[in-house]
Amino acid sequence: MAAKDNVKLIGLSMSPFVARPRIVLKLKGIEFEFLQEQFGKKSELLLKSNPVYKKVPVLIHEGKPICESLIIVEYIDEVWTNSGFSILPSDPYDRAIARFWGGYIDDKILPQVRPFLEDSDESSKAEAKEQLLATMKQLEEAFEQCSKGKSFFGGDNIGYVDIALGSHVGWIKAFEKIAGSKFLDETKTPLLTRWAACFLSADSVKGVIPEADELVEFAKTIAAARRHSSPPS
């Protein structure tokens, strides 16, 4: 097991992208120090560790920084191969498919929820709502193909796609409250709905994904900060 002082994670507990390495580190049984950033501010350590994008998460392993959430997930999986089970499939084709869906999730979900964090007009929000519903239906089909009838995208265990999508589940539930629509619906996406419940109940996930009500309040903080920083028209 890695010594705690050799593994640090710079992040924000409300960030779905920070949730990813936190879950993987717990899955692998790796001790780490979680260095929480303050919303709206960037610490000197963050700016030094990620001078290009200046954003979380950043994993610092033996003094060396690794940036971008899914790259960090792969790094942890490759470095601690003997700890826990593999996050990425061993088969090259299955591994490529997992990376494809991880990229799809990042390309689709954040842009589709952004209008609810901004002062967007109702037509933009309605369009974003429809797009997110379509994305969830597409992921329902992906789950059916990848899971092969088992509990997770990764089969019997939480894998790469589970972590990529599962990190967003808390926010998806928060946006259900904000938008007044169900995105994880037993009638429209029954497989994903059951998967989400199974994912959230996993020991490695408990305590990492915030509750929906907490995220709704944080969404208000984000929206207020955006309004404050926007130049007057």
Mean pLDDT value across residues 3-17:
89
pLDDT tens string 156-209: 999 999 999 999 999 999 999 988 899 999 999 999 999 999 999 999 999 999
Q: How confident is the model at residue 3 (pLDDT cuts 50, 70, 90)?
A: low
- Can you point out the beta strands (E) in the chain? 7-11, 33-36, 58-61, 64-67
Pair (75, 102) in one structural domain: no
Q: Residue 155 — φ and ψ, nearest 5°?
A: 100, -120
Pair (35, 74) in one structural domain: yes
Alpha-carbon span 122 to 125, nearest angstrom: 5
Pair (138, 209) in one structural domain: yes
Predicted pLDDT at 158: 98
- Output the domain CATH number for residue 64: 3.40.30.10
Residues near 137 by beta carbon (within 8 Å), at least 6 away in sequence: 188, 189
Instruction: Check residues 220 and 18 and name the one with the higher pLDDT.
Output: 18
The pTM (predicted TM-score) of the whole model is 0.94
Pair (63, 31) in one structural domain: yes
Q: Residue 51 — φ and ψ, nearest 5°?
A: -70, -15
Pair (68, 121) in one structural domain: no
- For residue 61, being part of any structural domain is answered with yes
- For residue 124, being part of any structural domain is answered with yes
Predicted pLDDT at 233: 43
Pair (98, 162) in one structural domain: yes
pLDDT tens string 195-224: 999 999 999 999 999 999 999 999 999 888
Mean pLDDT of the chain: 93
- For residue 225, being part of any structural domain is answered with no
Q: Over 80: is that where the pLDDT of 4 sits?
A: no
- For residue 224, being part of any structural domain is answered with no
Pair (65, 112) in one structural domain: no
- CA distances (Å), origin 194, targets 50, 63, 87, 154, 199: 37, 40, 21, 15, 9
Pair (99, 213) in one structural domain: yes
- For residue 226, being part of any structural domain is answered with no
For residue 30, give its domain range. 4-79
- For residue 53, being part of any structural domain is answered with yes
How many domains is the chain partitioned into structurally? 2
- For residue 231, being part of any structural domain is answered with no
Q: Over 80: is that where the pLDDT of 1 sits?
A: no
Pair (172, 75) in one structural domain: no
- For residue 48, being part of any structural domain is answered with yes
- Output the domain CATH number for residue 182: 1.20.1050.10
Pair (66, 134) in one structural domain: no
Pair (71, 97) in one structural domain: no
Pair (141, 191) in one structural domain: yes
Mean pLDDT value across residues 108-129:
85
